[in-house]
Amino acid sequence: MLRTKTGVVHTPAFLPVVNPVSQPITPRRMMEEFRCRIVITNAYILKRHFGERERLDVHELLDYDGVVATDSGGYQVLVYGGVEVTPEEIIGFQKAIGSDIAVILDVPTGWGVTRSRAEWTVEETLRRAEAALPLIEGDDRLWVGPVQGGGHLDLVERSARAIGSMPFQVFALGSPTQVMERYLFTVLVDMVMAAKLNLPADRPLHLFGAGHPMMFSLAVALGCDVFDSAAYALFARRGRYMTPSGTKRLKDLVSLPCSCPVCRSHEASELREMLRGERIRALTEHNLYVSMAEMDAIRQAISEGALWELLEVRSRAHPALASALKHLGRYRKALEKSSPSYKGRGVFIFDSASLARPEVTRHLRRMESNYEPPGDARTLLMVQAPEAKPYGRAPQFRRLRRAVEGALGDASTDIHVCFYAAPFGVVPLELSETYPLSQFETADPLEGETLRFASEQVGRYVESTKYYEAVLLRGVDKLGGLVEGRCMEACKKRGIRLTVVSDPEPWSEAALGRLVARLEALLPEAR
């Protein structure tokens, strides 16, 4: 949460951009009807239109008693090339008008600029940040230090490290708007992570210009705490109707697929027939309702440990978002490190994108760093996981255990049983009831990438342990074949013997009989 001099804002939070000159929805209505506890307005525009007043308070001007953030005019610098104010003047103005959160006047990098231009924007922004420190020291508002660099990720990293060493209470990633307008969401992932991984983890990150609800969950999953946009109003002017899964044109709508007050009190045809000003106002209200509702959905998902499920649903809104979700897999270790642990709910595996879930990464890390097989285990028995969970209580496994113990007696204690299953790969019997190994569901049939991922975990496990031999009971499905191949490679590297029992019905009496016979033949040799 953000603690400001006016009040506390729970994060993640969306900041609607308020135009202080012309605004379809008054900030007071935003507070009372839309539950907007924080808004953002432009200090540069305020200065141009109201700067001659002897006394100016931004809360009084907006008639809003919530938290007010002010931008410094950086967007105008990006669009128009400059502003008629100095960095020192805009800092003093934001202090004078009582902003709760304020931004220094940076120089946005923009998109598609040359490297030399990008380097200059980074260095100039850092120079201005350094110069601002004496002016904001001891001030009671939160000051934002912008990160620049655009699509030049090494410059974003350099900018983040430098600005992160300064005592700003909030950081912000500049120049993402043009990236998002072009649906370059994989680029956005890289930009945010380049900044996030090089900034202090204990201070919030603001993503400038992120305004469409369909990508809010992506921004939050990346570690963005607040984001702002005027898209809710700008889209309305163009007859665009926002939904959590994309944007529709009002002229194409037969029905209004939303339960907000605007949509419940109007038909689509009624909105189209309104006077232009009334139509823009109604669409603006709808778009803001949708944006705020999406933030509520995200906060609820976080409280339930279900943010990833929401992200997967939203990623189906557009192929570019689906690509971004897959791209997140490159940062799975960083995502896991910053995600809370056990939340008490099951893990859903839909496809290979789910492999980047923090729960999957965390389990694999703990297996690698914290787990060792029982010390007296000489023989690894790797068996296909039964359908029922937890695997150790499944009727099929109980039959296997009785058969092995009946045939081998005390020698059965030399055998360590592990199950193989997607996506986690290896499930040791003694861990089969721990989270998340018995609290996950998969969408069958699983795709090849997920199966290969699971078989790779099996291979790594066999290579890292000290068994004298391995026995594999597998089905004839694709996962079984992949597991056998990786087990063969791992056993060859270890210089140990692998015995395979393959059967279309690996839990049948005939398959279990053949498995027990193989174990009876092996164990005397091993001892």
* Sequence-separated (6 or more) residues with CB below 8 Å from residue 135: 88, 91, 92
**DSSP symbol at 163:** H
Task: Please name the residue that has the structure tokens 């700003």.
Answer: 168
Asked if 65 is an active-site residue, the reply is no
> Is 415 a domain residue?
yes
Q: Please name which of 312, 311, 320, 326 lies closest in space to residue 356, comparing C-alpha atoms.
A: 326
Q: Which pLDDT score, from 0 to 100, does residue 174 have? A: 86
> Is 23 a domain residue?
yes
Q: Which pLDDT score, from 0 to 100, does residue 527 have? A: 43
Task: Please name the residue that has the structure tokens 């200065």.
Answer: 47
Q: Helix 43-50 crosses helix 87-96 at what angle (to 10 degrees)?
A: 80
Burial of 249 (0-12, 13-18, 19+ CB in 10 A): exposed
Q: If you compute the radius of gyration of the chain from its CA atoms, what whole number of angstroms results?
A: 29
Q: Which pLDDT score, from 0 to 100, does residue 177 have? A: 80
- Measured between alpha carbons, how far is 248 from 242 in angstroms, rounded to an integer? 6
Are the CB atoms for 110 and 178 separated by under 8 Å?
yes
Q: Kindly list the distances between the CA atom of residue 318 and the CA atoms of 241, 289, 324, in Å, as whole numbers in the listed order.
A: 16, 21, 10
Our measurement of the distance from residue 519's CA atom to the centroid of its chain's CA atoms, rounded to an integer in Å, reads 46
Beta bridge pairs of residue 71: 42
Are the CB atoms for 306 and 345 separated by under 8 Å?
yes
Task: Please name the residue that has the structure tokens 């598609």.
Answer: 112
> Is 465 a domain residue?
yes
Number of domains in the chain: 2
> Is 346 a domain residue?
no
- Measured between alpha carbons, how far is 27 from 10 in angstroms, rounded to an integer? 18
> Is 39 a domain residue?
yes
> Is 330 a domain residue?
no
The DSSP annotation for 280-322 comes to HHHHHHHHHHHHHHHHHHHHHHHHHT-HHHHHHHHHTT-HHHH
- Measured between alpha carbons, how far is 307 from 291 in angstroms, rounded to an integer? 17
Instruction: Give mean pLDDT in consecutive 10-residue pieces for the chain, a chain of 527 residues.
Output: 93 94 92 96 89 84 96 71 82 95 93 93 96 95 96 96 97 87 92 96 93 93 94 96 95 95 96 96 97 96 92 94 94 89 80 92 94 89 94 93 87 90 96 93 92 97 93 95 97 95 93 91 61
Q: Which of left, alpha, beta for 256 (phi over 0: left; psi -120 to 50: alpha)?
A: beta
| CATH number of the domain that residue 128 is part of | 3.20.20.105
Give the CB-side neighbour count of residue 261, counting CA atoms within 13 A: 8
Are the CB atoms for 72 and 132 separated by under 8 Å?
no
| CATH number of the domain that residue 401 is part of | 3.40.50.10630
Beta bridge pairs of residue 242: 247
Beta bridge pairs of residue 426: 420
Last residue of a domain, one of 213, 229, 245: 229
* Sequence-separated (6 or more) residues with CB below 8 Å from residue 22: none
Tell me the CA end-to-end span of the chain in Å, nearest whole number: 61
> Is 384 a domain residue?
yes
* Sequence-separated (6 or more) residues with CB below 8 Å from residue 512: 399, 400, 403
- Measured between alpha carbons, how far is 308 from 354 in angstroms, rounded to an integer? 8
**DSSP symbol at 394:** S
> Is 183 a domain residue?
yes
- Measured between alpha carbons, how far is 490 from 463 in angstroms, rounded to an integer? 5
- Measured between alpha carbons, how far is 381 from 289 in angstroms, rounded to an integer? 56
Are the CB atoms for 450 and 329 separated by under 8 Å?
no
Burial of 480 (0-12, 13-18, 19+ CB in 10 A): buried
Of the candidates 57, 63, 71, 414, the residue annotated as catalytic is 71
Token pair in block for residue 449: 């990438």
Residue type, 217: S
Token pair in block for residue 442: 């998969």
For residue 445, whether the previous peptide bond is cis, meaning omega lies within 30 degrees of 0, is: yes
Range of the domain at 479: 371-526
Question: Cα dihedral angle (116, 122, 128, 131), rounded to 10 degrees?
Answer: -110
Q: Which pLDDT score, from 0 to 100, does residue 524 have? A: 61
